[in-house]
Amino acid sequence: MTAVHAEWTKLRTLPGTGWLLLAAAALTAAVGAVAANSVTCPGGGCQLDPAKVSLTGIDLGQAVVAIVAVTVISGEYSTGMIRLTLAATPRRWLVLAAKAAVVSAATLVTGAVAVLASVQAGGLLLARHGLTAAHGYQALSLGQGPVLRAAVGSVLYLALIALFSLGVAAAVRDSAVAIGVVLALLYLFPIISSAITSPSWHRHLEQLSPMTAGLYIQATANLGSLPLTPWQGLGVLAVWAAGAMLAGALLLRFRDA
Amino acid sequence: MTPGLQPWSKAGIIIKASTRQGAAYAAMMVTGSHGVRMQWNFTHDVAGLAGTVSAASPRWLRLTRSGDTITGYDSADGAHWTRVGTATLAGLPSTVQAGLFAATPGYSVASTSLGGASSTGGPALATGAFDQVSRQGAWPAGRWTGEDIRGTADDALPASAQGFTQAGGRLTVSGSGDIAPSTGQPDTVKQTLAGTFAGLIVVVVIGVMFITAEYRRGLIRTTLAASPRRGRVLAAKAIVLGAVTFAAGLVAVAIVIPLGEHLLHENGNPILPLSVLTATRVVAGTAALLAVAAVLGLAVGTLLRRSAAAVTVVIVVIVLPYLLAVIPGVLPAGAGQWLLRVSPAAAFAIQQSEPPYPQVTAAYTPSTGYFPLAPWAGFAVLCAWTALALALAVFVLRRRDA
Mind telling me how many Å the CA of B335 is from chain A's nearest CA? 7
Does A37 lie at the interface with B, CB-CB under 8 angstroms? no
Asked if B331 and A40 touch (Cβ cutoff 8 Å), the reply is no
Q: Are strands B10-16 and B97-103 parallel, antiparallel or unpaired?
A: antiparallel
SS3 sequence, B313-337? HHHHHHHHHHHHHHCCCCCCHHHHH
Q: Over pLDDT 70: what percentage of chain A? A: 93
- With an 8 Å Cβ cutoff, the interface of chain B facing chain A consists of 111, 113-116, 118, 186, 190-191, 194, 197-198, 201-202, 204-205, 208-209, 212, 216, 306-312, 315-316, 319-320, 322-324, 326-327, 330-332, 334-335, 367
Task: Kindly list the residues from chain A whose CB atom is less than 8 angstroms away from the CB atom of residue B116.
Answer: 47-49, 222
Please indicate whether, in this complex, the C-beta atoms of B115 and A221 are within 8 angstroms of each other: yes
pLDDT for position A27: 92
Mean pLDDT of chain A: 87
Q: Coil, strand or helix: which one is A197?
A: coil
B308 → closest Cβ in A39, A179, A221: A179
Give dist(CA B179, CA B16) in Å, integer: 11
- Enter the ipTM: 0.89
Does A40 lie at the interface with B, CB-CB under 8 angstroms? yes
Residue B57 — φ and ψ, nearest 5°? -130, 75
**Could you tell me if residue B119 is left (phi over 0), alpha (psi between -120 and 50 degrees) or otherwise beta?**
beta
Work out how many domains chain A is built from and give that number.
1
**CB-count burial class (<10 Å; 0-12, 13-18, 19+) for A208:** middle
Give dist(CA B310, CA B296) in Å, integer: 10
Domain residue limits at A61: 2-254
Asked if A150 and A208 touch (Cβ cutoff 8 Å), the reply is no
pLDDT band at A70; cut points 50, 70, 90: very high
Give dist(CA A93, CA A127) in Å, integer: 49
**Which tens digits make up the pLDDT trace of B93-148?**
888 888 888 888 877 665 444 334 445 667 788 888 888 888 887 777 777 888 88
Give dist(CA B394, CA A108) in Å, integer: 39
Give dist(CA A53, CA B335) in Å, integer: 13
Q: Which of A172, A208, A6 is nearest to A94 (CA)?
A: A6
pLDDT band at A118; cut points 50, 70, 90: very high
pLDDT band at A46; cut points 50, 70, 90: low
Does A180 lie at the interface with B, CB-CB under 8 angstroms? yes
Size of interface A-B (CB pairs under 8 A): 128
pLDDT for position A101: 93
Residues whose CB is less than 8 angstroms from the CB of residue A32 and which lie 6 or more positions away in sequence, other chains included: A53, A54, A55, A56, A57, A58, A117, A118, A121, A122
Nearest CA in chain A to B338: A38
pLDDT one digit per residue (tens) for chain B, 402 residues = 345 678 888 888 998 888 888 788 999 998 888 889 999 888 888 888 887 887 778 888 989 988 889 999 988 888 889 899 898 888 888 888 888 888 888 776 654 443 344 456 677 888 888 888 888 877 777 778 888 887 765 667 777 777 788 887 788 888 888 887 766 666 777 778 888 999 999 999 999 999 999 988 889 889 888 988 888 999 999 999 999 999 999 999 989 888 888 888 888 777 777 788 888 999 999 999 999 999 999 999 999 998 899 999 999 999 999 988 887 766 766 778 888 999 999 999 888 877 778 777 766 777 777 888 889 999 999 999 999 999 999 999 998 887
Could you tell me which residue, A112 or B152, shows the higher pLDDT? A112
Give dist(CA B354, CA A114) in Å, integer: 41
Q: Over pLDDT 90: what percentage of chain A? A: 42
Amino acid at A160: L
**Which tens digits make up the pLDDT trace of A195-241?**
887 788 888 888 999 999 999 998 887 787 888 899 999 999 999 99
pLDDT for position A42: 59
Does A14 lie at the interface with B, CB-CB under 8 angstroms? no
SS3 sequence, chain B? CCCCCCCCCEEEEEEECCCCCCCCEEEEEEECCCCEEEEECCCEEEECCCCCCCCCCCCEEEEEEECCEEEEEEECCCCCCEEEEEEECCCCCCCCEEEEEEEECCEEEEEEECCEEEEEEECCCEEEEEECCCCCCCCCCCCCCCCCCCCCCCCCCCHHHCEEEEECCEEEEEECECCCCCCCCCCHHHHHCCCHHHHHHHHHHHHHHHHHHHHHHCHHHHHHHHCCCHHHHHHHHHHHHHHHHHHHHHHHHHHHHHHHHHHHHHCCCCCCCCCHHHHHHHHHHHHHHHHHHHHHHHHHHHHHCCHHHHHHHHHHHHHHHHHHHHCCCCCCHHHHHHHHHHCHHHHHHHHCCCCCCCCCCCCCCHHHCCCCCCHHHHHHHHHHHHHHHHHHHHHHHHHCCC
Task: Kindly list the residues from chain B whose CB atom is less than 8 angstroms away from the CB atom of residue A180.
Answer: 201-202, 204-205, 311, 315
pLDDT for position B3: 58
**Which tens digits make up the pLDDT trace of A223-234?**
878 888 999 999
Could you tell me which residue, A156 or B275, shows the higher pLDDT? A156
Residues whose CB is less than 8 angstroms from the CB of residue A168 and which lie 6 or more positions away in sequence, other chains included: A70, A178, A181, A182, A185, A244, A247, A248
Please indicate whether, in this complex, the C-beta atoms of B326 and A178 are within 8 angstroms of each other: no
Give dist(CA B110, CA B120) in Å, integer: 6
